[in-house]
Chain A
């Protein structure tokens, strides 16, 4: 069974731009969570989607948003990028949300 995939793997943007990241969960998994990972803050939870609905949300500003499609694929969007948004963005999927999460390789975003 294919693992979690994320595209693109690397991205360079400038301040003020917006970015959309994509995540395809493991087949059959309905929950998709997004995390931001930085050296200083570690893994921080952004939000979780289940059946196209945002079920949980972390403490991030409204510039961070996401959505989930009927096939469970998910996208996250960051608008008005700031230098501090440079990070590895990880997507994780699980069957229903509370079990073991399986992570993708991440998208490394650099904001200049």
Chain B
């Protein structure tokens, strides 16, 4: 069935280094992707999104890359800070209509001071 999966369930990085969190999706019809950050005890928080007509989108210290050929999504965090420690979810909307969003299992990012 349709699914969004993550390659790495846990990731530890040194403070100041760059982090890369990966995500694979299986539905080639998906055209909208979102990254969420979930800190302990809180609901997921929107980080950045990208549409399928784009390959790259940048935000503040974050960049999302989309490779439609291999159905792969990644989130890059520059100069990772302790406050970036959280679980990161990728999510896909199968199409720009009212289909339900599908979330990946999440990657736990730990930043080592």
Q: Chain A: interface residue count, which band?
A: 20 to 34
- A33, B105: Cβ atoms closer than 8 Å: no
Per-residue 0/1 for A37-81: is the Cβ within 8 Å of any B Cβ (1 yes, 0 no)? Answer: 000001101001010000110100000000000000000000000
Are A45 and B45 in contact, CB atoms less than 8 angstroms apart? no
- A interface footprint on B26-39 (CB within 8 Å = 1, 0 otherwise): 00000010101000
Q: Name the residue of chain A whose CB is nearest to the CB of B6.
A: A42
Q: Are B89 and A43 in contact (CB under 8 A)?
A: yes
Interface residues of B in 78-113 (CB under 8 A from A): 89, 93, 96-106
Instruction: Note all chain A residues with C-beta closer than 8 A to B34.
Output: 100-101
Given the interface contacts A42-B103, A42-B106, A43-B89, does A97 sit within 8 Å of B46 by beta carbon?
Answer: no
Contact with A along B12-32 (1 / 0, CB 8 A): 000000000000000000001
A98/B42 in contact, CB under 8 A: no
Q: How many residues on chain B are close to A (CB under 8 Å)?
A: 23
Q: How far is the CA of A106 from the CA of B45 in the complex (A)?
A: 12
* A104 at interface by CB-CB < 8 Å: yes
- Per the 8 Å Cβ criterion, residues 20-75 of B in contact with A are 32, 34, 36, 41-46, 49
User: Which B residues touch A90, using CB under 8 A?
Assistant: 43-44
Q: 9 interchain pairs (CB within 8 A)?
A: A43-B89, A56-B100, A58-B100, A98-B32, A98-B93, A100-B46, A103-B43, A103-B44, A104-B43
New contact pairs (5) apart from A42-B105, A98-B32, CB-CB < 8 Å: A43-B89, A90-B44, A103-B44, A103-B45, A104-B43
